[in-house]
Each structure stands twice: as structure tokens, then as C-alpha cells.
Amino acid sequence: MTDGRRWASGSARAMSRPGLAAGTLALAVPAAVLTVVYLTQAGHWFMTDLQVYRWGGLLARRSGPLYAAKFRGTLSFTYPPVAAAVFELLSAVPMLAVKQFVIAVSVLALFASAWLAWGGAGVRAPWARAAVALAVTDIALCTDPVQQTIDLGQVNLVLMAVVLADLLSRDDRWWRGAGVGLAAGIKLSPGIFIVYLLVTRRFRAAGVAIAVFALTIAAGFAVLPGQSRQYWLGGLFLDAGRPGPVIYASNQSLLGAIARLGGGSRGALPYWLAAAVVVAACGLLAAAWAHRRGRELAAVSVCAVTGLLVEPVSWDHHWVWIVPVLVTVVHAAWRYRSWVAWAAAAVVLLVFAAYPVGQPGDPSAVKGLIWSVPVGGNREYGWHGWQLVTGNLYAIAGLAMLCAALVALSRGRGSATQGPSEPDLVAAAGDSAAAEDIPLGALPRGPVSSFVPARADGADAPELTGTGETAGRPPQSPPHGG
């Protein structure tokens, strides 16, 4: 490092601490205000899915007909028996306290997911990482999937944080895969990540995930044997229509989109199976490809989008996985100065943002664009023109994400870039005590996650520091498998 660059780096660190601290505190204000509003208004929210969780826990505690009964005559408990055993804890707590607890935990899980995602993108400086994580949290709280998750009292944000904490940890940890197995045991959707571990040849982690998943099934048989036989041996877990009508606009999976286009779920089944096989193969290929390039955050994001598309039911609140997707794209835009990536990030936000588009009489007036078309009562069959695009927007966006990932990976470099270690960078700057103040982008330790390749002319892309200064790209390391 030249004297001029050493001085510039030291000056940037000297100025970054107060600025980053003030910026982080400022970014914490919107999330804190929204959380307080949610908590104070919790008594006025019905939080339908949370009510079903609590009701299922009450049935489990009383050995009731967990899967035969209907909540208020319409809604079924659809989760595995071990989840009902966990929800027994909720049945003994006053409902207002349960609502406030779930809201607080959901917001914390959202911030944790953003923190983990930025860590997966290579941001290690604590203040910088906290600042960008809070920025993503603020933005995500204004999106339809996150708002619907909180409004319904869903567990999606918590499960996403568990999976990210597992998959973005180091490969050499013996318990790698346990979080994926636990999440899949509570809600089957995260099971796609077990397949991802197998495809990427991390067999020990996949074995741990499968073992933990099996333990959740065994625990269910131990505490709720009758309900477990009904759910697992009776095939209830295969009933795609049990959570609700497949054609309902909230279902943004391939099956939901094809059923709405084709006039019914029964006739759509063979087309869905064919489409699901192709999309699953392409999605898992892209995820494995990104993993081999060392881009683990991009790989996990691609795998999540693949799962959302191919599973039979992906309600709009399941799409909280746009949080790591957004981090991946924004990181690529920042790292490579790519206007294409910035435009992609803007499109993601526009597609998944919450708007005042609620139907007349709907108590939730702010929702995603998919709710701006006629919904419910089989009115989805009457969509035409742009309604077909708007009503299937999340599924279309998911397919576009997979295509963009494949194109970007095919045009990208042969391996991820990993620079010198954090101590080396600090020592080169002449200040080993200031490691935590190295600005954003100056610590490339760990995999570089990106959907966007380097510059087309083959030149090395510059790094962007937290103060707007440019530092040279670190030396390239040999390819590694993550």
C-alpha cells in the first residue's frame, strides 16, 4: 500500500466512526417507530394465522382432533405435529401478550436476517454492517410479504433467520445443517435447502439436517402419536389444497399461477409437474453454480426462490426471502458500480412493496400489487389482460430472478474473489486497533455474493469504501468450494 493510500485509508477510518454511529442510530428510528406502532395496535389486529397456531396448541394440549377440526369452521391446522406441541406454550398465555411477543420477535428476526445476509456478502465492520442491516430492515418493513407476515402472525421471518444463520456459517462447524432440519421440521417449506446441501455435495451438513428433521418427526410421534400417524402415515402432508384454495391470489407458486391461467388446479397438475421439474433443476443448478463460485448468499437466495416457485402453495407472506435477494443485488450494484443491478434492486422493491390497494371493506388497506385485482370467490378465473400479469406478479418475478441469476453466472468470472485477511489489511494501513472501523467494501474476507458479473471490458472493478473513496481490488485467490 502506498503512503498516499495508507493516509487516505487511515483518514477514512478516523472519520467513519462518528458518521457510521450517527447513521446507524438514525436508521434504527424508523424500525423502532414501526415496531412500537405494531405493539400498541396489536390488540386491534386479529392475526389470523397466530390464532390458528394458538388454537392448534390448545387442541394438542387437550388431545383434540388436531387435523379434523376447523378453526372458526374454515381454517385447518396444516403444520407438522411437533409444531403443534411447540404452540402448546402459546395456548397458556393471554392472546395480547402472544401477539406482542410474536411482533417483537418477527422484527428482531428480520433485522437478524439482514445482518446475516450482509455478513454473507462480506461486510464485517460492525457499525457498517449494523447500518446497512437497519436500512434493509426499514425497507423490508414496507414490503407486502413482511407486512403480511406480521399482520397474520406468521413464523416466516423467524424460520428465515434460522436458515440463514445455519447456511451462512462456516462449513467446518459440525452442527452445520441443524438449523435447516429444525426449520423443515416446523414448516416443510425449508426442506428445499436439504436438497441444496446434497446438490452442493456437503453430505455431512445434509446428513445433520436430515437427522434433525427426523428427530422432529420422532418427537411428534412421542408427544402426539395419533396426530403424527394421521399427518405422516395418512398422507396429510401431501395434501396441497389443505392450506387453502390453490387458485387464491395469495398463492404465488407455479401451481397457483398455472391453475389460475388454466381454469382449475386439477387440470393444471400435469403442467405444474413438468414446469416444477424444469424450474427446480435450473434453480438448483444456479444455486450450486453460485456456491462453487464462492457466492453463498446468492446461492441461498436462488435456492429460496426456487423453493417458493416449485412448492404447491407459496402464500405472499412466504416471499420474505426477498430480503436476502435484495441484499445480494444491492451488494452487487455497490461493488461493481452496476446501474443494471441498481435497476434490478428498484424493480424488486416496486414489485414487492406494499401499496394502498386493498379491496373495499378489506380491513388491511395496504397490500402488494397482487391484491389490486379481484380476489376470492373464484374471481381469479375471470382475470384478463394486465390482471393476469399483476395477479401472478410474484411468480413472474421469481422466474425472472432465476433467469437473471443464470445469465449473470454464465457471464461472470470463474471464481469468487477473496482478498487478504482482515488483520493483513489493518496492518497494511498501520493501525491494528482500528479493525472494526474499516469501511464498507474494504473487507472482502469471505465469499463475494453477486448476481452481477464484473465489468465487460475485463478490468477489475474498484471497491467502494464507506466514505466514497476507491481502493484497489485485492489479489485474486484460487477457486474454492465454499
Name the one residue in this structure whose C-alpha cell is 394486465.
386
pLDDT score for 478: 35
Is-contact 366 354, C-beta < 8 A? yes
Are the CB atoms for 333 and 345 separated by under 8 Å?
Answer: yes
Average pLDDT over residues 86-109: 93
Distance CA 106, CA 101 (A): 8
Q: pLDDT tens-digit profile of 382-425?
A: 899 999 999 999 999 999 999 999 999 998 744 443 333 333 32
- Name the burial class of residue 467, with classes exposed (0-12), middle (13-18) and buried (19+) by CB atoms within 10 angstroms of its CB: middle
Q: CA–CA separation, 187 vs 156, rounded Å?
A: 9
> What is the percentage of the chain residues whose pLDDT exceeds 90?
61
Q: Using only the alpha carbons of the chain, give its radius of gyration.
A: 23
The distance from CA 17 to its chain's CA centroid, rounded to whole angstroms, is 30
**pLDDT digit string (tens) for 113-135?**
999 999 999 998 888 999 999 99
- Distance CA(346)–CA(326), nearest Å, equals 9
**Which comes out higher in pLDDT, residue 266 or 421?**
266
415 φ, ψ (degrees, to nearest 5): -155, 165
pLDDT-based confidence at residue 271 (cuts at 50, 70, 90): very high
Q: pLDDT by residue (tens digit) across 280-303? A: 999 999 999 999 999 999 999 999
User: Of all helices (H) and strands (E), which one includes residue 464?
Assistant: strand 463-464
The mean pLDDT of 465-476, rounded to a whole number, is 36
DSSP 8-state symbol, 79: S
Mean pLDDT of 422-433: 31
Rounded CA-CA distance 20/471 in Å is: 19
Position 467 scores a pLDDT of 34
**Stretch 329-357: mean pLDDT:** 93
Whole-prediction pTM value? 0.82
More reliable by pLDDT, 173 or 149? 149
Q: What is the mean pLDDT of the chain?
A: 82
Q: Which of 193-202, 349-358, 381-390 has the lowest mean pLDDT?
A: 349-358
Cα angle 402, 407, 408 (rounded to 5 degrees) comes to 95
pLDDT surpassing 80 at residue 314: yes
What Å distances lie between residue 393 and 139, 190, 251, 313, CA to CA? 19, 22, 11, 15
Position 299 scores a pLDDT of 98
- Cα gap 95→148, rounded to integer Å: 19
Residue 172's contacts (CB-CB under 8 Å, 6 or more residues apart) are none
What is the pLDDT at residue 96? 94
Average pLDDT over residues 68-77: 88
At 214-260, the pLDDT tens digits run 999 999 999 999 999 999 999 888 887 788 889 999 999 999 999 99
- Angstrom CA distances, 115 to 129, 164, 271, 439, stand at 7, 10, 39, 16
pLDDT at position 10 over 90: no
Give me the residues paired with residue 315 across strands: 251
